[in-house]
């Protein structure tokens, strides 16, 4: 029973929950970006470079053999084609670059906001006097007022 209690404490820590949310959102974001690349970006890009569909780009290493049937009996089983599908690879690289750029922009925006908040807090600390400084200022002002009356 102790192990379940420890696991519950671990799983409910803020970092574990935040990580789980990030993984789920990252997966969903990845699907959106994949669709953006495959369905929106690649078709016009294929037209621009001559009507090429990137997902069909490949180098055939060994041609496939279709199934051969004679008199209802299979004489030769089909053999699948062996190919290097570099078009799919190019599409995945483009997916990665778009995701990396989007994450870069998001992190940059967050860091800018954090830096602005930190600068404001630092300025507030500088402008805010300590209790001792306030007390000394009051004493100085009181002494100046006493000297002015004399």
Two tokens, residue 21: 């949310």
99-146 per-position pLDDT tens digit: 788 778 888 999 999 999 998 888 777 766 677 777 888 889 888 887
Q: Is the pTM of this model over 0.75?
A: no
So where are the chain's domains? Answer: 1-52
Q: What angle do CA 119, 124, 127 make, to 5 degrees?
A: 125
Name the least confident of 21-25, 45-49, 101-105, 141-145: 45-49
How many residues can be counted in the chain? 150
């Amino acid at each position: 029973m102790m192990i379940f209690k420890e696991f519950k404490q671990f799983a409910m820590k803020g970092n574990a929950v935040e990580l789980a949310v990030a993984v789920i959102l990252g997966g969903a974001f990845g699907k959106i970006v994949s669709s953006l690349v495959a369905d929106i970006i690649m078709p016009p890009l294929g037209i621009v470079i001559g009507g090429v569909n990137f997902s069909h780009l490949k180098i055939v290493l060994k041609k496939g053999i279709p199934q051969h049937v004679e008199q209802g009996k299979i004489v030769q089983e089909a053999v699948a084609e062996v190919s290097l599908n570099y078009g799919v690879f190019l599409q995945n690289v483009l997916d990665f670059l778009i995701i990396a750029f989007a994450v870069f922009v998001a992190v940059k925006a967050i860091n800018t906001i954090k830096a602005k908040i930190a600068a404001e807090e630092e300025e507030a600390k500088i402008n805010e006097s300590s209790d001792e400084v306030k007390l000394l200022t009051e004493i100085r002002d009181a002494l100046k007022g006493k000297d002015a009356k004399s």
